[in-house]
Amino acid sequence: MKRKILIIGGSYMNLQMKISPKHKEGDITPGSDYRYHPYGDSAITAISTAKLGGDCVFATRFGNDTNGKRLYEYYKSCGISNALMRKDEQAQTGMSISVYSDLETHENFVASGASMRFTKEEIDDAFIVMPDMFLAPLEELGYDEHTVVVKSEKKEEEEETSFVKTLERAEEKAEKENASEAEENKDIPEEKEDALEDKTEEKEDIISSETVTSYIERESLALYALKKAAERKVDMIFQYTPFTSRYPLETLENIKVLVISDEMLYKLTGFFPNNTEKALRSLMALSQKVKAKYYVVQQGNHGAFIYDGSHYEIVSAPSTLVPRNPKENEKRMQQTFMGALAAEYLESKNIVRASKFAVIVSLLTRAKFGNLEKVLSRAEIEQYAQEHGIDLFR
pLDDT band at residue 369 using 50, 70 and 90 as cut-offs: very low
pLDDT band at residue 386 using 50, 70 and 90 as cut-offs: confident
* Residue in 142, 203, 202 with CA at minimum distance from that of residue 171: 203
Q: How many helices (H) and strands (E) does the chain have?
A: 11, 15
Residue 246 backbone zone (phi > 0: left; psi -120 to 50: alpha; other: beta): alpha
Mean pLDDT over all residues of the chain? 84
Question: At residue 341, does pLDDT exceed 50?
Answer: yes
Question: At residue 162, does pLDDT exceed 70?
Answer: no
Q: Which of 73-77, 126-130, 157-161, 302-306 has the lowest mean pLDDT?
A: 157-161
Question: At residue 43, does pLDDT exceed 80?
Answer: yes
CATH topology of domain 4-146+217-387: UDP-N-acetylmuramoyl-L-alanine:D-glutamate ligase (3.40.1190)
Q: What is the DSSP string of 254-287?
A: -EEEEEEEHHHHHHHHS---SSHHHHHHHHHHHH
pLDDT of residue 7: 98
Side chain identity at residue 341, one-letter code: L
DSSP H or E segment with residue 239: strand 235-239
**pTM to 2 decimal places:** 0.80
Domain ranges (residues) in the chain: 4-146+217-387, 153-210
Distances from the Cα of 216 to the Cα of 147, 148, 246, angstroms: 5, 6, 21
pLDDT of residue 19: 87
- Helix, strand, or coil (residue 87): strand
Tell me what the mean pLDDT of segment 338-347 comes to: 95
**Residues near 268 by Cβ (< 8 Å), separated by ≥ 6?**
240, 245, 260, 282, 286
- Helix, strand, or coil (residue 351): helix
pLDDT band at residue 23 using 50, 70 and 90 as cut-offs: confident
Q: Name the residue with higher pLDDT: 181 or 236.
A: 236
pLDDT of residue 334: 78
